Amino acid sequence: MPSPQPLGGKRGGPQGRPSLRFRRRGTLLLVGIVLALSLLQPALELATSGYTRIELTDARTGSQLLTVILHESEPITLTWKNSLFGVDVTEVFLAKDGLLVQTQVTYAGPQGTPPSVSPRDVEDLYHTGGPFSAQGLSKPFRQILFRVGEVGRPRLYVRDRVVDFQREVGFGGRVLLVARPSTWRESLLHVWTALCASIWRRFHAAKFSVGEFQQTWYISQHPFLPGV
């Protein structure tokens, strides 16, 4: 009487390992994926170019305070108080080709709206003080080192975030702001994350609207409910 065989057939038989045809298909599929990615990479690099990555760190400890990928010409704003001249300073920078370009600076005093000046006069006014406002500057920076004074209270505004330097590193601390071009992988991840967040917000808003409609319809069909 022959001995019983396992349900899957003999080890090493046709049912115990993938067929040669199946393995060839898997290899061809893997090669196709690699070729497609290699062909798509230049297109992805072009589509995700023009982004600037900024990193804000504690210059003493190296701990990261903020990392953001900015779109081309997206602004960030720095505010601080100049204790020497007693004015509130506002500086606006735009992200351009992996750099931060200073485009506006305002020294505002208690007298009201500061007078407008030419960009070429800004360097002298930095030293002489007094209220002024200048637009149309084009001063590029790769990195900026801030020293936190007792009065200055510098703050960086990036989208909906505010970084208070004194709160983060304390009086006498230093904060380093570095800008560089974003890699295509970083930019792609940023675009994907933003897209998912946008879809989620729209879905949540649509879901809320449908819920409101259903509640309104139910109340209209039952006008004598308690509290209605």
Indicate if 131 and 161 belong to the same structural domain. yes
Query: What's the whole-model pTM score?
Result: 0.66
Within-domain flag for 31: no
| pLDDT given at position 24 | 72
Indicate if 104 and 65 belong to the same structural domain. yes
25-65 pLDDT, tens per residue?
777 777 666 665 555 555 444 445 578 999 999 999 999 99
Judged by average pLDDT, the poorest of 97-101, 108-112, 137-141 is 108-112
Q: Which helix (H) or strand (E) holds 197?
A: helix 184-221
Indicate if 178 and 188 belong to the same structural domain. no
Indicate if 67 and 170 belong to the same structural domain. yes
28-55 per-residue burial string, b: 16 or more CB within 10 A, e: under 16 = eeeeeeeeeeeeeeeeeeeebebbbbbe
Ramachandran bin of 50, using left for φ above 0, alpha for ψ from -120 to 50, beta for the remaining angles: left
Checking if the pLDDT of 3 tops 60, the result is no
Indicate if 129 and 72 belong to the same structural domain. yes
Indicate if 193 and 157 belong to the same structural domain. no
| pLDDT given at position 173 | 95
Indicate if 85 and 127 belong to the same structural domain. yes
The answer to whether 186 and 53 have CB atoms below 8 angstroms apart is yes
Judged by average pLDDT, the poorest of 28-32, 76-80, 110-114 is 28-32
What does the alpha-carbon distance between residue 3 and residue 216 come to, in Å, rounded to a whole number?
A: 73
Judged by average pLDDT, the poorest of 19-33, 78-92, 129-143 is 19-33
Mean pLDDT of the chain: 79
Residue 210 pLDDT level (bands cut at 50, 70, 90): low
* 196 vs 9: which has the higher pLDDT: 196
* 74 vs 46: which has the higher pLDDT: 74
What does the alpha-carbon distance between residue 62 and residue 55 come to, in Å, rounded to a whole number?
A: 11
167-189 pLDDT, tens per residue?
999 999 999 999 999 886 766 66
- Domain count within the chain: 2
The answer to whether 85 and 131 have CB atoms below 8 angstroms apart is no
| pLDDT given at position 151 | 85
Indicate if 169 and 196 belong to the same structural domain. no
Q: Which domain holds residue 192?
A: 183-221
